[in-house]
Structure formats: C-alpha cells, structure tokens
C-alpha cells in the first residue's frame, strides 16, 4: 500500500569515540537521560509525527539494539501494514554481499524494502541525536516548497560551524551550496543530518551513486552535492529547539546533564512523549540515609547515599555514605558504601566498590574531562580513577 512518507533510521555506527561504552553495543542503544536509550528519541519522534513505517539500518553489534526494538510495541510501532523493521546488511544469490559502505549505500542496499511501501517521500534519520521534532511539519514544508530534498538545519555560532556541514542559501531561500566542516563558514545554518527526499528522485541518485567507483556513498559528501550540482530544489527546514549530537563522551555527558533542565528539553510534556522499553521494576526506593538533589531517578533504583546533579538509569544502586555528583549512571550500575563518583559516566552493570573514587571536579586545566567506566567494569575497593580516564572491561582497575 502506498505511503506518503516512511523513515529510514541509520543505526549502524560504531560510535568509536564513545569507545568503552560501545565496545559491545551500538551507539543508538547506549542508555540516555535516565529511562531512555538514544534511539528512543528518533523512534518516538516518528510515532508522534504519525510515521508508522521505520526501517532501522543496523550493522555494528546489533544484538542489544534488535532485542530492545523488538516488535516496536513501546513506541506503538507494532502496526499492520507498516511498523519497525531491523534491516541488517545481507547477501544476495550469486553476489558476495557487503557491509554498508556509507550512509547512502545503506539505503541503496535496502531499495527493495522501501519499494515495498512505494512511498512518495523518505525521511532519513540518524540514531545518535537527542531532540524532539515534528517530522510531519518538516514534511509539510518539504511538500509546500516542491523540494527534491529538504534538510533540517539549525542555527549555530560561527565557531561551532567548523564542526558541521554548513548550508549556504540562495536569494530564493533554497540551498545552493553545501560545505562540510568549512574553515571559513559563509553561513550559520548547520545540517542536522535529517533529510526528507522525494523518493523517485532519491532512488535515481542512489542508483547513479552506486555506479560511481569514486563515491564514498555518503549523503553529505555525495548525494546532496550531486543534487545541488544538478540544480535540484533543496529546501532548508529551519528547526528551532533542543538538538544535540551525542557522539563523544563530553557531548553525551553534557546532554545528559541537560535532561535536568526542563527549560532546554521538557520530557514531562504529555503531548510529545518519548517512549522506551521499560524493564518493569518496582518504583525506586530511597533509604533511611538518602539525600537526593537536582537529579533524576527511575524505576528499580535503590538510593541510600548522596546524589546531586546526576542522571540515574533503571536499577542503579547507591549505598549508604556514597557520593554521586554530576554523573551519569547507566542501567544496573552500583556505587558501594563510601565511594565517590563525580563528573563521570558509569556504564551498565559497572560496580564502583567501597571507598573507590572515580573522576574529579573541573580544575580549570586544559586536560580535564569526564571520567568513563565501561559496562561491567569493576573498580576495586579504594581504587582511584582520575578525571578523563576511560576504563573498559579489559583494563579494569
């Protein structure tokens, strides 16, 4: 049956800059903001925007992501004639089969999936962004401007512009030039990596791109510049609101801290719920010595220590006399009696034993950064992990 718009969610990235946190899971399934995993944001946005067909392109360590998404029921994406589909790379008869070699190639390899739904438009999403966005509004904008492609753009400062793909507009408001990480930016409109394409047009460009041996098969590097060169109508959708790329430890920590400020992004808005697959634990318990301030806590947690300015995922345990400050504790993390965790990210099921000390407050020095303890790591009693350290399972302290 014909669809107006379906979504393709790129969730195959390794997230190598999150190293210890993504050794055994794909970046989109990293816990975020207490109850969520990163992928909950684009999936919930789809559901809230009325997009009921989502292909999730996986490649790197997809096991946890697959089981997390499951039937798509938590996002109401378990529907007839649509729903959420995990799309791994695959082999065809007589061919060698290959990994996705770029963002555009991942979509190209799944032409058959898209053609099943014969959509008029395809929304391309990234699995590592934190934001709330009405894709239906973007689609209206796309259709109104008769665009071959609409790119969601965000106003950034000129200093930040050097880290993004920047869009230069013509007098008619359409995008005339795309510069990847320019040294001397000409505009302040950054691409958010969210695209809506007219499907027949995109199909044509994907096929041409696949035939080009010199292409990196990437939307930002190849497809969009090719469309611009051909004079296709490319419209900027001006997004206003909270949006963060959480590709690095610092940005992941920052964005988690933002969840404590409803002025930045309000997760309590019943009109735009972000949904997650719940582990269904009993409510969190505060013990007889608990002190919790300016923090978010969720189901299954047991808190008897001191927690300040922190974000706790389900089933975190903080024992009596422990101090947790400005930190992100992922599912099942444990901080034992008398231990201190500050300015740190503690991975899933990691244990900080009694009296240990992880991280340090910013001291103004240039080398300072957030300390990271990978999933399942045990920090031994009394051990000390300095600021900026990243400990993974193979190098326990």
Partner 1 sequence: MNDFQGLIFAYFTNPNLRELINVRTAASLPFCGRYRLIDFSLSSMRNAGIYDVGVIMQRDYQSLLDHLGGGKAWDMARRSGGLRMLPPFGLPEYHRGNYSGTMEALIAVGSYIQDIQSKYIVLLLGNMVANIDLTKPMKQHRRSGAEITAICTDRGGDGFRMTYVPGEDGFVKQLLVDTDDPKAGPVSLEGYIINRDTLLRMIDECRRQRIYLWHREALPRFLEQGGKMDCYVHTGYCALIRSVDSYFKANMDMLNPAIRHELFPADLPIFTKVREEVSTYYAEGAYSRNSLVADNCIVEGSLENCVVFSGARIGKGAQLKNCIVMSDCIVGRDSSLDYCIVDKDVSFSAGTVLTGSEKLPFVVPKGSKL
> Which residues bind to partner 1, rule: CB under 8 A?
33-36, 40, 73-74, 260, 267-268, 270, 273-276, 278, 280-299, 302, 307, 311-312
Q: Is 94 exposed, middle or buried (0-12, 13-18, 19+ CB in 10 A)?
A: exposed
Between 139 and 276, whose beta carbon lies closer to partner 1? Answer: 276
Q: CA neighbours within 13 Å on the CB side: how many for 289?
A: 11
Q: How far is the CB of 280 from partner 1 (least distance, A)?
A: 6
Both tokens of 188, joined, read 């302040």
Q: Which residues pair with 155 in a beta bridge?
A: 189
Q: How far is the CB of 34 from partner 1 (least distance, A)?
A: 4
Between 232 and 319, whose beta carbon lies closer to partner 1? Answer: 319
Between 76 and 396, whose beta carbon lies closer to partner 1? Answer: 76
154-179 in b/e burial notation, b at 16+ Cβ within 10 A? bebeeeebeebbbbbbeeeebbeebb
Cα distances (angstroms) measured from residue 238 to each of 151, 177, 194? 9, 16, 11
Q: How far is the CB of 316 from partner 1 (least distance, A)?
A: 11
The distance of Cα 151 from the centroid of its chain, to the nearest Å, equals 18
Q: Are 133 and 43 in contact (CB under 8 A)?
A: no
Q: Is 301 exposed, middle or buried (0-12, 13-18, 19+ CB in 10 A)?
A: buried
Q: How far is the CB of 338 from partner 1 (least distance, A)?
A: 19
Strand, helix or coil at 150? strand
Q: What is the DSSP letter of 275?
A: P
Token match 């990210």: residue? 345
Between 242 and 368, whose beta carbon lies closer to partner 1? Answer: 242
Q: How far is the CB of 254 from partner 1 (least distance, A)?
A: 18
Q: How far is the CB of 131 from partner 1 (least distance, A)?
A: 16
Question: CB within 8 A of 170, min separation 6: which ones?
Answer: 176
Query: How far is 357 from 13, CA to CA, in rounded Å?
Result: 32
Query: How far is 48 from 133, CA to CA, in rounded Å?
Result: 9
Token match 């969520």: residue? 36
Q: How far is the CB of 293 from partner 1 (least distance, A)?
A: 5
Between 307 and 360, whose beta carbon lies closer to partner 1? Answer: 307
Q: How far is the CB of 263 from partner 1 (least distance, A)?
A: 13
Q: What is the DSSP letter of 300?
A: T
Q: Are 333 and 313 in contact (CB under 8 A)?
A: yes
Q: How far is the CB of 80 from partner 1 (least distance, A)?
A: 14
């Amino acid at each position: 049956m014909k669809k107006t718009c379906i979504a393709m969610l790129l969730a195959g990235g390794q997230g190598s800059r999150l190293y210890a946190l993504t050794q055994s899971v794909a970046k989109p399934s990293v816990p975020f903001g207490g109850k969520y995993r990163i992928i909950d944001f684009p999936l919930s946005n789809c559901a809230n925007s009325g997009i009921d067909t989502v292909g999730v392109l996986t490649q790197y360590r997809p096991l946890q992501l697959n089981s997390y998404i499951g039937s798509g029921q938590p996002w109401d994406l378990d529907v007839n004639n649509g729903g959420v589909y995990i799309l791994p790379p695959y082999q065809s008869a007589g061919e060698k089969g290959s990994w996705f070699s770029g963002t555009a190639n991942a979509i190209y390899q799944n032409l058959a999936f898209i053609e099943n739904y014969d959509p008029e438009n395809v929304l391309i999403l990234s699995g590592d962004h934190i934001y709330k966005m009405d894709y239906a509004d973007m689609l209206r904008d796309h259709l109104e401007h008769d665009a071959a492609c609409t790119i969601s753009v965000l106003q950034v400062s000129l200093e930040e512009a050097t880290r993004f793909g920047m869009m230069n507009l013509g007098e008619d408001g359409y995008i005339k030039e795309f510069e990847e990480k320019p040294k001397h930016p000409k505009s302040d409109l950054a691409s958010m990596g969210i695209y809506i394409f007219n499907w027949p047009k995109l199909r044509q460009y994907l096929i041409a791109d696949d035939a080009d041996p010199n292409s990196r098969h990437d939307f930002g590097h190849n497809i969009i510049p090719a469309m611009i060169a051909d004079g296709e109508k490319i419209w900027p959708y001006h997004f206003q609101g909270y949006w963060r790329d959480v590709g690095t430890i610092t940005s992941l920590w920052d964005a988690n801290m933002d969840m404590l400020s409803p002025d930045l992004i309000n997760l309590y808005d019943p009109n735009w719920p972000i949904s997650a697959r719940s582990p269904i634990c009993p409510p969190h318990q505060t013990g007889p010595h608990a002190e919790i301030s300016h923090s978010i806590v969720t189901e299954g947690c047991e808190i008897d220590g001191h927690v300040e300015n922190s974000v706790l995922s389900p089933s975190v345990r903080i024992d009596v006399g422990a101090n947790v400050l400005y930190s992100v504790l992922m599912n099942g993390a444990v901080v034992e009696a008398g231990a201190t965790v500050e300015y740190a990210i503690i991975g899933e099921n990691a244990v900080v034993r009694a009296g240990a000390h992880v991280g340090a407050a910013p001291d103004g020095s240039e080398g300072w950064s957030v300390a990271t303890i990978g999933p399942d790591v045990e920090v031994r009693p009394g051990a000390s992990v300095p600021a900026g350290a990243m400990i993974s399972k193979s190098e326990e302290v």
